[in-house]
Amino acid sequence: MRVPEHRGPAGDAPVLVAEEEVPPPPPPKGPRAIVWARRRRALQRVWRVYRKNTMGMWGLYILAFFGAVAVFAPLIAAGEGLDPTCPCTGTPYDAPSLRFPFGTDNLGRSVLTLTIWGSRISLMVGFFATLISMLIGSVVGILAGYFGRWSESVLMRLTDWFLVIPFLPLAIVLASVLGRSLLVIIMVIGVTSWPSTARIVRAQVLSVKTRPYVERARALGASHLHLVTRHILPNVGPLIFANTVLTVAIAILSETTLSFLGLGDPLSISWGTILEFAFGAGAAGGGQWWWLMPPGLAIVFVVLAFTMCGFALDEILNPKLRQR
């Protein structure tokens, strides 16, 4: 049986939500199964368009590479290499050689090993900070857009406040009061970077909630919870997703900056803390470019890749851009 395509009014974003409950395997086709079949097809449609986007695909290749490096770090470079007392370390400040392709740091550790292991912390902080930021941003945006009135004015004032306050000084003040740890870094970045998401989500909710099919559902007696989770969320989901990808880039850059300023977790190695150590040990004055280049270039490539993917997704999913 061919399920008819369910799309909203013209310009409606294709539905791409995968965050609700897992679909039960459907022997008798219920409404839930129809919905999921439709979503799968929408996803495939987005993927077909995305595949043709050169910029987006290159971003994806770069991310796949760094993702693999982070996941398989223990297999690529032995973890003992991070311990300065390990016999596997070389002489300090060694220029690149066959044994140490990116040279060594002031403790004789291989910069290649540090960079590989640093990818884990940097990417992890990026993802979890983005998760927090997306959660706060979506909840605030949906509540403000859906309920309106006083909750909207209160929430939007809060959002404006976070937008106006300079991000870095706010993060610095928070992080220095809370102390140096990975959890603090994640929380601080997550709590300070949600306002732009909230605004985008609110704008989209405002346009979705006036559409006839939402009104129809309300007339049939749907509860607020049903309307938000079944009708509003699936429609703003794609936009939230495109925004997420761009936020990861910002979160990774923020982690790097905060770590460089000495607010990172001193016990875990990220690309930002490698740069902090290198600069603190005088690598710039000493001309040890091999210590500074690998972590810096890794940041540039990862942030560039996330930005490229985000732009590509935005072009496909953002109804405003598609109409151009």
Partner 1 sequence: MRGYLLGKVLQALLTLVFVLVFNFLLFRVMPGDPAALLLRGSAAFNPETVEQVREDLGLDQSLPRQFLTYLGDTATLNFGESFFLRGAPVSGVIGDKIWPTVLLVGTSTIASAVIGLIIGIYGGWKRGSAFDVGSLGFTLFVYAMPEFWFGILVLMAFAGGVGIFPSIFPTGGYETPAAGLTGLRHIVDVLNHMVLPFFVLTVAFLGEYAIIMRNSLIDILGDDFIQTARAKGVREKQILWRHAVPNALLPTMTLTLLSIGFVFGGAITIEFVFSWPGLGWLTVQAIDAKDFPLLQGLFLLFSAAVIVASLLADILYMYLDPRVRAA
| Interface size with partner 1, residues (CB under 8 A) | 41
Q: 3-state class of 104 per DSSP? A: strand
**117 exposure class (CB count in 10 Å sphere: 0-12, 13-18, 19+):** buried
When asked if residue 296 is in the footprint of partner 1 (CB under 8 A), the reply is yes
When asked if residue 176 is in the footprint of partner 1 (CB under 8 A), the reply is yes
- Cα–Cα distance measured from residue 252 to residue 248, given in angstroms and rounded to the nearest whole number: 6
Stretch that binds partner 1, among 33-41, 124-132, 153-161, 237-245 (CB under 8 A): 153-161
- Looking at beta carbons only, is 63 or 208 nearer to partner 1? 63
- Cα–Cα distance measured from residue 279 to residue 288, given in angstroms and rounded to the nearest whole number: 10
| Helix, strand, coil content of the chain in percent (nearest 5) | 70, 0, 30
| Nearest CA among 34, 12, 63 for reference residue 306 | 63
Output the smallest distance, CB 169 to partner 1, in A: 4
Q: Would you state the structure tokens that stand for residue 162, as one six-digit string? A: 């976070």
Q: 3-state class of 222 per DSSP? A: coil
When asked if residue 242 is in the footprint of partner 1 (CB under 8 A), the reply is no
Backbone angles phi, psi at 94, to 5 degrees: -80, 135
Output the smallest distance, CB 25 to partner 1, in A: 43
| Nearest CA among 82, 71, 70, 76 for reference residue 110 | 82
When asked if residue 225 is in the footprint of partner 1 (CB under 8 A), the reply is no
When asked if residue 150 is in the footprint of partner 1 (CB under 8 A), the reply is no
When asked if residue 78 is in the footprint of partner 1 (CB under 8 A), the reply is no
Output the smallest distance, CB 263 to partner 1, in A: 7
When asked if residue 181 is in the footprint of partner 1 (CB under 8 A), the reply is no
Output the smallest distance, CB 205 to partner 1, in A: 23
- Cα–Cα distance measured from residue 259 to residue 255, given in angstroms and rounded to the nearest whole number: 6
Q: Would you state the structure tokens that stand for residue 101, as one six-digit string? A: 């392709």
Q: Which of 18, 64, 68, 300 binds partner 1 (CB under 8 A)?
A: 300
Q: Which of 7, 72, 161, 224 binds partner 1 (CB under 8 A)?
A: 161
Residues near partner 1 (CB under 8 A) are 157, 160-161, 164-166, 168-170, 172-174, 176-178, 249, 253, 256-257, 260-263, 272, 275, 279, 283-287, 289, 292, 296, 299-301, 303-304, 307-308
